[in-house]
Amino acid sequence: MGGLIATVLLTAGCTAPQEDDATNELVVGISTDVNNWYLDKFPDGDGRFVWSQVYETLVRLDTDLNIVPGLAESWETPDDGKTWIFHLRDDVYFHDGTPFDANSVVFSYSNESYVKKMGALRALDHIEIIDENTVKFVMNKPMPLPFYLTHVAWPIMSPSCVHENGNFAEPIGTGPFKFEKQVTDQEIVLVRNDKYWGDKPALETVTFKVIPEATTRVMALETKEVDMAIKLPEYDVSRLEEEPDVDVYRKLTTFTDFLQFNCNSGVFKDKEVRKAVAYSINTEQMVNTVLEGIGSPAKGRAFSPVMMYSNPELDLYEYNVEKARDILYEAGWQDSDNDGVLEKNGEPLKATIVVGKGVWASRHVPMAEAIQGTLQKVGMDADIQVLESGAINKLENEGQFDVIFRTGYFVWGPYPRHFFVHQSYCPYSHYNNPEYDKLANAADSTVDPEKQKQLYYDLQDMVLEELPAFYLVHEEKIIAANSYVKGYQITAEDPWLNLEGVYLEEEQ
């Protein structure tokens, strides 16, 4: 964190080899189309992998989540995080030839922007233009702002991407590739930005083909319909790793799967029931069987080990069915009619696990089914509902759910902003604890690394004790490519596709 306060120096990148016999068109299989290109909405699903080629952020992360310069060459805070001064590159132009400058920073973080409207930068009071290459972010409270600005979902866009009437015109960023065309639910075509300020890509064209079904993406990779594929199913990984013409890239990422409890009503209002669930789930077995050895068992740990302040010495939940049963019995749950389901005050111990449809369903449904089976062993009758996001939002807004299966949430880069999801005023929170709110606010309001580390350690302990959620598996990012794709380096950041240095060799 100390690197946030000191001026950050620019480091040179590596230029991709320009092979005489190389082809320069990469086709990537993704699961979802880009549903939005403008700063007023969040790009869902795999759209962010595409955004990361067109748009750039002031601050970036390297492949191991170290903070590095992006469109800002350096930055500093003169007052422990209350204001931040960013020094912008002066050799950068947007894809339409207009200059990147302080005005474009102000435009990108206006009140219209998603990041400002939805609260991730709610502490931003205003941005002052010091000169055309220097801006000052004035905050309402101290905060480690540079980490917030790494997220590709709130990048820098050109003011010229909007018509004079205020309507969005087209994607105009500063990234290594420019938007060429989009065929809805079929493909997005990007072309090389020959005036890119950094190392010019070897690739001339990148086409993202929308292939919703994971198994179909794998087939497209193996038949060479696509050169690279994102978000592959765990059950295909070991087989693909044995194929001589396919390279599989794996890296522990920042995302963690978790069960988010409704702590305000229903059976999970009782912390003892939440604890029984935590002891009843064998996350090691889940990784080894359901997920084919892909990922790392969390055992309740909220942070992936790759993230800042992830405490390696936490007292985690070990699988113990007998202990889970004892906790429930001591809390007054009994099987009075010998039907295998516990009751208390005449009410059965029943719960519904809500799983979202879409790109995560192929992973989360079998995980939920495994949990359903293990909960039965401790006397809980659990069923599974697979719903569209709109239906889940409705249940959340009405408080009419038991537990929701989730991944990520307020995760960008290594910074542990995820804890916001359990603060009482977060729209996705279903836990109300003033002590937790106070601790989370304190952790996010300091740039002192030692103080912040201790606060986040305390929060990790509180999450394990209070269990607003139970964390299951730290995810691995999986990218597969045909062996003629060269120079790819996988990143721990998700969702981000690093195409720097990538080129294609012609097959012999």
Is residue 204 assigned to a domain? yes
- Asked if residue 366 and residue 441 are part of one domain, the reply reads yes
Question: Three-state DSSP class for 467?
Answer: coil
The per-residue pLDDT for 23 is 60
Kindly report the CATH number assigned to the domain that includes residue 357.
Answer: 3.10.105.10
Mean local confidence (pLDDT), 476-498: 91
Is residue 234 assigned to a domain? no
- Asked if residue 295 and residue 206 are part of one domain, the reply reads no
- Asked if residue 183 and residue 41 are part of one domain, the reply reads yes
Is residue 217 assigned to a domain? no
Is the predicted pLDDT of residue 127 greater than 80, yes or no? yes
Poorest-pLDDT segment among 68-82, 210-224, 483-497? 483-497
Question: With contact defined as beta carbons under 8 Å apart, do 384 and 365 qualify?
Answer: yes
The per-residue pLDDT for 410 is 76
Please state, in angstroms and rounded to a whole number, the distance separating the CA atoms of residues 198 and 358: 35
- Asked if residue 497 and residue 451 are part of one domain, the reply reads no
The per-residue pLDDT for 274 is 98
- Asked if residue 491 and residue 465 are part of one domain, the reply reads no
Domain range enclosing 139: 2-210+484-505
Return the C-alpha torsion angle 200, 201, 205, 208, nearest 10.
-130
Is residue 241 assigned to a domain? no
Is residue 77 assigned to a domain? yes
Is residue 221 assigned to a domain? no
Q: How confident is the model at residue 454 (pLDDT cuts 50, 70, 90)?
A: very high
pLDDT digits (tens, 9 = 90+) for 46-87: 888 999 999 999 999 988 899 999 999 999 999 999 999 999
Helix (H) or strand (E) holding 476: strand 469-482
Please state, in angstroms and rounded to a whole number, the distance separating the CA atoms of residues 138 and 145: 10
Q: How confident is the model at residue 507 (pLDDT cuts 50, 70, 90)?
A: low
- Asked if residue 100 and residue 121 are part of one domain, the reply reads yes
Q: How confident is the model at residue 13 (pLDDT cuts 50, 70, 90)?
A: very low
Of 34, 39, 35, the C-alpha closest to 161 is 39
- Asked if residue 278 and residue 422 are part of one domain, the reply reads yes
- Asked if residue 165 and residue 108 are part of one domain, the reply reads yes
